[in-house]
Amino acid sequence: MEYSEEVRRLFDTLPHCGELAAGAGPIVAGEAAELERGAWLRFEARLADGAIVDAAFRAWGCPHTLAAAALTAARLPGWRAGTPPPVDARSLAGELAVPADKLGRLLVLEDALQSLLRRASELQSAPPGG
């Protein structure tokens, strides 16, 4: 199995891996697991002023999956409801040189990401105090 330098770097350091500490701003989470596909991901994001300001992930999967999760968490800050997701399976596959037979794992990541963004959108559109 070949791994790009970027996959190696992200796997070795796993930036944004863990959970967000309680603090200012609500935290939302999104999760997806398809163990038979080899991926289980959970994202957390903190919201402030209608945007994601911090993000973290936990993931079980191959090095490509963990690297993709780290990259996704890094790209989440700045996202606002109504805008496209910061990454998708295809862009991650290209950026990290993920083999075609692992695309299914990135689709699981996409599911977890969409779940997170949906919850973030719902929270932002909810009436204050509602």
Partner 1 sequence: MNTAAGRPVYLDYAASAPLEPRVAELMCACLRDPALQANPSAVHRPGRAAAAVVAQARARVAALIGAGPEAIVFTSGATESVNLAVLGTVRAAPAGRGHVVTARTEHRAGLEACRELERAGHPVTWLRPDAGGRISAAQVGAALRPDTALVSLMHANNELGVLTDLVAIGRACAERDVPLHVDAAQSAGRVPLDVRESGVALLSFCAHKLGGPKGIGALYLRRRPRPALRPLLFGGGQEGGLRPGTLATPLIAGFGLACEIAVGEIVKEEPRVRALRERLWAGLQPAAPVWRNGAAEPSVPGILNVCFPGIEGESLLFALDGQLAATSGSACSSASGEPSPVLTAIGRSELAAQASLRLSLGRHTTAAEVDAAAALLIAAVQRLRRAAPPGAIERIA
Q: According to CB under 8 A, which one of 71, 102, 109, 117 is a site residue for partner 1?
A: 102
Comparison of 51 and 119: residue with beta carbon closer to partner 1: 119
Residue 45 bridge partners (DSSP): 28, 55
Q: Where are the beta strands (DSSP E) in 19-118?
A: 27-34, 39-48, 51-61
Comparison of 51 and 116: residue with beta carbon closer to partner 1: 116
Q: According to CB under 8 A, which one of 10, 42, 46, 55 is a site residue for partner 1?
A: 42
Could you tell me if 119 and 79 are in contact, meaning their C-beta atoms sit under 8 angstroms apart? no
Q: Quote the CA–CA distance of 106 and 65 in Å, as a whole number.
A: 7
Please state the separation of Cα 99 from the chain's center in Å.
Answer: 19
- The closest of 30, 74, 68, 39 to 54, measured between CA atoms, is 74
Q: Which x/- pattern, by CB under 8 A, does the window 52-91 give for partner 1?
A: ------xxxxxxx-x-------------------------
Q: Does 33 bind partner 1 (CB under 8 A)?
A: yes
Q: Does 22 bind partner 1 (CB under 8 A)?
A: no
The residues that touch partner 1, with contacts defined as CB under 8 A, are 1, 3, 11, 14, 17-18, 31, 33, 35-36, 38, 40-42, 58-64, 66, 99, 101-102
